[in-house]
Amino acid sequence: MQRLLRRSVLVLVIFLISATGQSDLAPQDTPPADATVVPLLDLAAMPESAIPVARAAVTSRSGTTMRFPFDPQPEYITSATNYWAGRDGASIEYIVIHYTDISYARTLHAFDTLASNVSAHYVIRGDGHIAQIVAEGDTAWHSGNAWYNRHSIGIEFELDHVTNPAFTTEQYYAGAALACAISGRQGIPLDREHVIGHNEVPGTTHTDPGPTWDWPHFMWLASLCAPPTDATVHASFVSESPYPEISTDDKALVSVVLRNTGSTAWRKGTDQEARLGIPDNSRALAFLADGWPAPERPAVQEEDIVPPGGTATFSFRVKGTLPGTFVVPLRGVVDGGAWMDDLGMFTVVTVR
């Protein structure tokens, strides 16, 4: 470590990694799966404002352009040792992120060496290639904590001062796409309660993935492909326009703003698109509809992408077909996955 002090800024970064991280391959206590197809997203075509700047410089060195999300196809490289068959009845609840601190090749060798006492389910090489060492249904030895090993899937990212001195764009893409596929298979929400670093495992002395791992960037990428399910689709109420009062030959605009409090992004035109729906898909008030996408779906999100924490605007018109006062119940829904929380929303249309 000392010799690194005399080198350049780039090496200083490596020094920081070395100084703060510990190798996963120090002795610790203690195989293929179906993939989920997700729609492709062209990040290059996204507005700059929608792409957060990486905290750590993430530069592609391979020169390849990876489209994201994609369908990760791990190369299955079994380890003859260093895992327990099955999960001993434990449910899979976490994804644990690590870095290797040694090269990809040495990592695979270590995972196949009994004396190392370590393994992980997946290893992601600097160029984004994914190796699967242990099946998700089996227990890998990656977190230094038997309970967490039983309840988690471990992903190692190659980080090595020679072969891959910094996390790459390809690794972030591959890791996020892999996390999305795992989420689809195991029902793990992709939030920071369920996607944790090795350093966050209780009792650990390890500090990986360390200060150069860009959590916000990784979680944002993961949200773009996180399967919309009951576990990932959530919303809170932000605002609503005044109740419309119109005459029988008039129209009015209603707007509702919801915040995405789940862990999957709302993406217009995909299975992750957020819509404003009528609870129970009732069509009883469809006579009020003016240009709705469907009789039980008054509106879709206006924004192209609403990441977790962001707000979406839903606007729709009602028309005064007959006199009366009509209460229109409303509830957000991602039709590719799940209804949002029932927030008791409604609007009241008065037609004179």
34, 63, 176, 230 from 183: Cα distances, Å: 12, 29, 10, 12
**215-225 helix and 169-186 helix, angle to the nearest 10 degrees:** 50
Beta pairing, strands 245-246 & 345-351: parallel
Of the pair 195, 265, the CB lying nearest Zn ion is at: 195
Beta pairing, strands 305-306 & 130-132: unpaired
Of the pair 82, 347, the CB lying nearest Zn ion is at: 82
- Please give the structure tokens belonging to residue 291: 């240009």
Evaluate the CA torsion angle 75, 79, 83, 87 in order and state its sign.
Answer: positive
Of the pair 98, 217, the CB lying nearest Zn ion is at: 98
Nearest to 214 by CA among 146, 157, 283: 157
* Rounded least distance, CB 268 to Zn ion, Å: 38
* Rounded least distance, CB 315 to Zn ion, Å: 47
CA atoms within 13 A on the CB side of 203: 8
* Rounded least distance, CB 208 to Zn ion, Å: 4
Of the pair 150, 297, the CB lying nearest Zn ion is at: 150
Sketch the per residue contact string, 253 through 292, with Zn ion: x for CB under 5 A, - otherwise.
----------------------------------------
Does residue 158 interact with Zn ion by CB under 5 A? no
Q: Which of 198, 217, 275, 297 binds Zn ion (CB under 5 A)?
A: 198
Of the pair 101, 136, the CB lying nearest Zn ion is at: 101
Does residue 24 interact with Zn ion by CB under 5 A? yes
Q: Which of 101, 160, 170, 208 binds Zn ion (CB under 5 A)?
A: 208
| Other CB atoms within 10 Å distance of the CB of residue 338 | 19
92-131 binders of Zn ion (CB under 5 A): 98
In angstroms, how far is CA 67 from the centroid of its own chain? 16
d(CA 287, CA 184): 38
* Rounded least distance, CB 163 to Zn ion, Å: 18
* Rounded least distance, CB 87 to Zn ion, Å: 20
Residues binding Zn ion (CB under 5 A): 24, 98, 198, 206, 208
